[in-house]
Amino acid sequence: MKIGFIGAGNMATAIASGIVARGVVQGSEVVVHDVHAAGAQALAERLGATVAPSNEALVDTVDVVVLAIKPQVIPTALPPLAAALAESGALLVSIAAGTSLARLEQLLGDGGAELPVVRVMPNVNAMVGAGMAAVAGNKAASAEQVATVVDLFRAVGDAIELPESSFSTFTAIAGSAPAYAYLFIDALARGALKAGMPKAMATRIAAQTVLGSAQMVLESDDAPWVLIDKVCSPGGTTIAGLMALEDGGFVSTVVDGVQATIDRDRELGAGS
């Protein structure tokens, strides 16, 4: 399978590096194009991939086209690719936040609804093989094509098929959430820094603790609340810390953050 990336930024780098590192495709089966030639060249050199001279040329040479550009530029970048996509039969995969399958079909013009399009919301942790992605196909995408995309993203973490109506919520707790998890790790480390521990050491300790906590939630039969109770000794350290977090509105602040992300995703959709 040859796979092309339109845009060679953060996500193309994360996904392409992840799938090549795990042997899902060879570097030589990857093609990239970016309006910034140097960025495309740098990614291609890292992976042993090829740089296409244009997005149209890229579409002509691959089986799967990953549209890895910002939602705001899709309305100008996608329409010129409609003919090449129809001609080549390549599967279009969009990872853009807020951009619906219906909108992508519309931008592909007359006949856009007949072209197979799959929408994915991945996250940047695909880079280290620990991503989380949601996948939804349009009517023209076959079950096999959707399954191929799920398998592609499972190779760099986990992936699920999800109704498109849940994509905004998924974006809040998976697509954008790595930034929130990094913030939490950094906040733990800053607390330790304040108490006198070197920041790099504190960051490593906090990151390993968050990693292990995530693994516990995934592998344990207990709900997070039950796990929390198991850490809290009566009159101990953890309950003292939890109460301070509660005083600061930790849970409701996180819930507000999720809602703000959902709202922005919907705004992007409405404005694209």
Please report whether residue 96 would count as binding ligand NDP according to CB under 6 A. yes
Q: Are strands 131-137 and 117-121 parallel, antiparallel or unpaired?
A: antiparallel
Nearer to ligand NDP, 77 or 242 (CB): 77
Q: Which stretch binds ligand A1CAB (CB under 6 A): 1-9, 45-53, 82-90, 168-176?
A: 168-176
Q: Is 91 exposed, middle or buried (0-12, 13-18, 19+ CB in 10 A)?
A: buried
Q: Tell me which residue of 15, 91, 75, 8 sits closest to 42, measured CA to CA.
A: 8
Cα separation, 174 vs 177, whole angstroms: 5
Please report whether residue 115 would count as binding ligand A1CAB according to CB under 6 A. no
Q: Which stretch binds ligand NDP (CB under 6 A): 3-11, 189-197, 229-237, 240-248?
A: 3-11
Please report whether residue 13 would count as binding ligand A1CAB according to CB under 6 A. no
Residues 24-83 that bind ligand NDP (CB under 6 A): 33-36, 39, 55, 68-71, 73, 77
Q: Tell me which residue of 41, 47, 42 sits closest to 18, measured CA to CA.
A: 47
DSSP 171: I
DSSP 173: I
Nearer to ligand A1CAB, 157 or 175 (CB): 175
Please report whether residue 100 would count as binding ligand NDP according to CB under 6 A. no
List the binding residues for NADPH: 55
- Which parts of this chain interact with ligand A1CAB (CB under 6 A)? 97, 171, 175-176
